[in-house]
Every structure is written in structure tokens, then in C-alpha cells.
Structure 1
């Protein structure tokens, strides 16, 4: 099995909300009904918290 991690990817703590969402879109996560993770309100709330800078 070959690891396909993107070498240029910066740490999540240095990403904007849009960059975090794009990062997770590449994984293609979906729920049992086929909805994309990046459309989930709970996920978007977590992204907002993660991207919040003091």
C-alpha cells in the first residue's frame, strides 16, 4: 500500500476555514446516506472553532 499524503500540506492549525474544508473534501468522507462530511453543520462548526485565531 502506497501512502499518498500531500507533501505540501500545512498543519491544520495554520489553515483557514476554507483550507480545512478543502483538505477534508479530498478524503471524500460521506455518511451512511451519502452526504459529504463537509456539508455537515457539526463539522462546519468544528472547522470554525479550529480556525478561530486569538
Structure 2
């Protein structure tokens, strides 16, 4: 069974990008706090940051 793709809202993406510009890596407590603020899971935040770092390198 294939996992469903998560689509982030514009406000979530805005906050994620703002945080990414301040800080490329998040600690576990920072990730959990951001996940609570955005109503996402810490794993979704972790994967978003990993993907964004990869895209940023290109």
C-alpha cells in the first residue's frame, strides 16, 4: 500500500521556509515544538527539512 503524499498549506510552507532560512538543522525539541505549532508530526518536519536541504544544494 502506497503512502499518501502530504500537502502543506501555504502558511505552513511560509513558516517552514522562514525557519529554514534562520536554521538549516533542528534539534529534536525544536522539531517537536515546530510540529506542534504547525499541527504536523515531527517526522513530517524532519523530512521537509531533509528534502529542502537537498533541493537547496542543487
TM class, shorter-length:
0.3 to 0.5
TM-score scaled to structure 2, two decimals?
0.34
TM-score scaled to structure 1, two decimals?
0.35
Instruction: Choose 1 or 2 for highest CA Rg.
Output: 1
Q: Which has the higher helix share?
A: 2
- Asked which structure has the greater RCO (Cα within 8 Å, sep 6+), the reply is 1
